[in-house]
Amino acid sequence: MVASSVASVVVVGGGIAGVSTVTELRKNGYAGGLTLLTADPFPYDRPPLSKAYLSGAKDLESIALQAPEWYAGQRIDVIRGLAAALDPAAGTVTLSDGRQLSADRIVLATGGWPLWPDIERVVRGLLDRPPAGSGIPRSTTGIHLLRSAEDADGLRAVLLPGARLLVVGAGLIGAEVTSTARKLGCEVVLVDPANPPIAAAVGAQVAEWLHSLHALHGAETVTATVEKVESTNAGVVAQIAGEASPRTFDAVLLAVGMVPDTAMAKEAGLDVDNGVVVDDHQVTSHPTVLAVGDCARRQGHRRAEHWEAAVHDGARAAATILGVDAPAASAPWFWTDRYDLHVEVVGEMHEPEGEHEQVVRGTLGEPPFTVFTLRGERVVGAVAVDDPKAVRAARRMIDRGVDVRAADLADPSTDLRQLLRSAR
Partner 1 sequence: MTAHSGNGGDSTGIRVASVDDIPEGEGIAISSDITGTDDDIAILRKEDGTCWALNDTCTHETASLAEGWVEGDDVECPLHSSTFNLRTGKVDGLPATRDTVAHRVEVRDGEVYLFPGERP
CA distance 92 to 109: 15
User: DSSP letters along 125-146, please?
Assistant: T--SSPPTTS---S-TTSEE--
Per CB under 8 A, 311 contacts partner 1: yes
Cβ of residue 17: shortest distance to partner 1, in angstroms? 11
User: DSSP letters along 3-46, please?
Assistant: --S--EEEEE--SHHHHHHHHHHHHTT--SEEEEEESSSS-B-S
Choice between 30 and 71, CB closer to partner 1? 71
Cβ of residue 176: shortest distance to ligand FAD, in angstroms? 6
Q: Which stretch binds partner 1 (CB under 8 A): 177-185, 186-194, 254-262, 306-314?
A: 306-314
Choice between 46 and 298, CB closer to partner 1? 46
Per CB under 8 A, 339 contacts partner 1: no
Q: Which stretch binds partner 1 (CB under 8 A): 15-23, 205-213, 228-236, 354-362?
A: 15-23
Per CB under 8 A, 408 contacts partner 1: no
Nearest to 148 by CA among 261, 225, 237, 67: 261
The answer to whether the beta carbons of residues 118 and 269 sit under 8 Å apart is no
Q: What φ, ψ does residue 136 adopt, rounded to 5°?
A: -85, 115
Binding site for ligand FAD (CB under 6 A): 12-18, 37-40, 46-47, 49-50, 82-83, 109-112, 132-133, 146-147, 173, 261, 264, 293-295, 305-308, 310, 334-336
Per CB under 8 A, 324 contacts partner 1: no
Per CB under 8 A, 321 contacts partner 1: no
Cβ of residue 325: shortest distance to partner 1, in angstroms? 18
- Three-class DSSP category at 87: strand
Residue 320 binding partner per list partner 1, ligand FAD, none, with a CB distance cut-off of 5 to 8 Å that depends on partner kind: none
The answer to whether the beta carbons of residues 361 and 350 sit under 8 Å apart is no
Dihedral (CA of 16, 17, 21, 27) sign:
positive
Q: Which residues bind partner 1 (CB under 8 A)?
A: 16, 19-20, 23, 45, 52, 65-67, 70, 307-308, 311, 333, 335, 342, 388-389, 392-393, 415, 417
